[in-house]
Amino acid sequence: MKKKEIDTFINEDERIIQTEYSDVMKKSFIDYAMSVIIARALPDVRDGLKPVQRRVLYDMHELGIKFDKPYRKSARIVGDTMGKYHPHGDSSIYEALVVMTQDFKKGMPLIDGHGNFGNIEGDGAAAMRYTEARLEKVTQEAMLADLDKDVVDFIPNFDETEKEPSVLPCKFPNLLVNGSEGIAVGMATNIAPHNLSEVVDATKAYMRNNDITTEELMTYVKGPDFPTGGIVVNQSELLDIYTTGVGKVKVRGKVEIEELKGGKVNVVITEIPYTMIGANISKFLSDVAALAENKKTNDIVDISNQSSKDGIRIVFELRKDADVNNFINMLYKKTRLEDTFGVNMLAICDGRPETLGLKRIIAENVKFQFEVNTRKYNKLLAKELDKKEIQEGLIRAVNVIDLIIEILRGSKDRNMAKSCMIEGKTDGIKFKSKESKIMASQLNFTEKQANAILDMRLYKLIGLELEALLNENEETIANIARYTDILENKDSMAQVIMDELDEIKLSYGHERKTVIEDAEEVVYEEKKAEVIDVMFLMDRFGYARNVDMGTYDRNKEVIDSENLFVFPMKSDGKVCIFTDSGNLHTLKAKDLPMGKLRDKGVPIDNISNYDSSNEHFLTLCCQEDVNNKRFIFVTAASMMKIVDGSEFDVSKRTIAATKLNDGDSLVSVFELSEQKNIVLQTKDGVFLRFGIEEIPEKKKNAVGVRGMKLAKNDLVEAVHYTQNAGNNIITYNDKPFDLHVKVKPGHRDTKGTKIRN
């Protein structure tokens, strides 16, 4: 081959397609998103199942793990499902299996679990190697029963080595009964469980009148029926939710009051909101404990969680003089004992995700039932017609059995005898008489009838067997008539579907657990905490706390020596924290623990916006004092000003206390009281003393004025204040240093005096 020919061949074979990278990414992401939406996260409106749930149930059906058979290890089910149908990891498969066993999550569990499958308080299921499972009876009878009758389409599995159903032939609206939750790409579904009996009644009502309204359907489906019970308190809003498919259902836990001897009262929670399942129960208990610790309530004597397999029982023992109703209202208002269930009835309908209302979900399920039953009865009818054809052939054959035997004895092989019975061909067959040959030439059995006659055993010639065959033929004819009527008459098929729904309701229906009502808004009157005088303490490590004034008075010397900041304040007051970054952080006194003398306290980082890793506090003071005073601000670049404290009377937790130039930082924030002079000290040992009156008053968002002319790379590192007379001695270079004597008076914005060692 020549070189030119080789080049041409390579260029043709490569087939390089040039396209925009953004277009490739867009298409790839859309493909991925649709795969997650359709094949992973959202349920199908027809059977109410996600693909992983459907595959688990079908695999159990294929393995023969039926409700009346022994349990099988969950690991066996998970492994088989993953290997055949769902190659996305064993954890997602086992999680789906576990959820379908939990009666506190599902309105009607689809799998019968044996072993530890978790509990309502959030404890997880045991490993799959320990637990066992089998199908529930309702799953076997109402979701998998007719798979052998070609009622649904089967599609190839991921590697095209197996077939799996695209949907299960569920005989009731499972999407409503068991609900669903899932998060896809850019969308999520959250459908509440409902009462099976009510859903069946609503489905039948729709079948009787397709023009029924959502409001009329809700005379049957009152609202969600959560497995955990509880009380839905916004009944008037449910119509809009079930019409649009989105909204918020408000749910409260059920509370009972138990009166004890001695005037004591127990408040007992016997049912919880559906949203509190799992770890939220322990969070609820910790939230109530926090309310007690923060003095929101003083009514609680003891809290005990006495929940068991028999149900929820959370007991609050209250004081004798407690306001019980106000305490219950506090639980509803301050904890998740009253919560909202966000409804988003999103499901796969006709191959795409849609938000569906109550009527649409029922309508789609009824439509599916007609499709399933049409395929089912077409299959049954074809089977009965085949039986009828064979039965009629056998009956005719018995009537001319002598001729049949003569044909069989005179034929050389099966095909010769078969051709005679079907087409009347007598060539090559030996007959006893011409009459027999003539009769044989008149036979016209069908091929199926001929095969059945040739396969017929001699015992069929017994009189009783012939009678049974005649009876069976009559039954077949009756079945054909019935199946034909069902297929040709929509009302007949509807009646079949409704009869099946009645059987399901009779066998598996139960009373409603969740109460539906319009309740009044909870009114909780929070008792105002008594305002007392406290002493704020913070040590050099940033741990802060409050102590009562009596503790401080008894231990004044110890407290003053061990803490960096000590000042009085009100128990409802605030603490102001000025930092070198120019920020002012505030924290509420009530957020601080009321400690004893040797208690450690809490880091101020944990209860305020102050971040010790990025800034350092300069001073702390009570906000009441800040409002009535003035403060001197000095920065490292020697910018200074006086700011009135009223500038800092704000409600925000963090504000800018001053404006700083780039690279500058605060060195000192000091309360202005009786100081006469200010002394600036730099890191190079330069001191400048001048009168306070030279510092102008500015707003907090101003930079200020220059206090001292600094040499290159020099910075202010300390600020001192003096009186005209008195003790003005500091320590400088480890020696006493009298500011009043050593530093001569000067003026602001001058160079100052360098002090030699």
Residues carrying an active site annotation: 130
Q: How far apart are CA 383 and CA 390, in angstroms?
A: 11
The CA-based dihedral angle spanning residues 583, 584, 585, 586, taken in that order and rounded to the nearest 10 degrees = -170
Angle subtended by helix axes 74-84 and 90-99, to nearest 10: 120
Q: Which amino acid, 51?
A: P
164 strand-pairing partners: 155
Q: Which residues contact 455 (CB under 8 A, 6 or more apart)?
A: none
Q: Which residues contact 715 (CB under 8 A, 6 or more apart)?
A: 636, 637, 682, 683
Q: Is 430 strand, coil or helix?
A: coil
Q: Is 122 strand, coil or helix?
A: coil
Give the count of beta carbons closer than 10 Å to the beta carbon of residue 138: 20
> Residue 331 has what DSSP assignment?
H
- In the β-sheet with 254-259, what is the strand arrangement from edge to edge? 254-259, 265-271, 314-318, 300-305
Using the structure block, give the residue that is written with the tokens 């020697």: 638
Q: Which amino acid, 207?
A: M
643, 704 Cβ separation under 8 angstroms: no
Nearest to 431 by CA among 404, 402, 410: 410
Nearest to 545 by CA among 557, 530, 562, 529: 562
Q: Show the CA angle centred on residue 424, arms to residues 423 and 428, nearest 5°.
A: 115
Phi then psi dihedrals of residue 609, to 5 deg: -85, 0
Q: How far apart are CA 137 and CA 109, in angstroms?
A: 10
Output the six-digit token pair for 237: 């809003």
Q: Is 226 strand, coil or helix?
A: coil
CA distances from 593 to 76, 401, 603 (A): 54, 105, 11
Using the structure block, give the residue that is written with the tokens 């009964």: 177
Q: How far apart are CA 484 and CA 407, in angstroms?
A: 38
Q: How far apart are CA 322 and CA 325, in angstroms?
A: 9
608, 577 Cβ separation under 8 angstroms: yes
Q: How far apart are CA 629 and CA 697, in angstroms?
A: 13
Phi then psi dihedrals of residue 73, to 5 deg: -60, 135
Alpha helical stretches, state H, 424-489 = 434-441, 447-455, 463-488
CA distances from 165 to 67, 99, 263, 416, 555 (A): 21, 21, 64, 44, 79
Residue 24's region, left for phi above 0, alpha for psi from -120 to 50, else beta, is: alpha
Q: What string of DSSP letters covers 595-659?
A: --TT---EEHHHHSS--TTT--EEEEEEHHHHHT-EEEEEETT-EEEEEEGGGG--SSSEEESS-
Helix (H) or strand (E) holding 721: strand 716-722
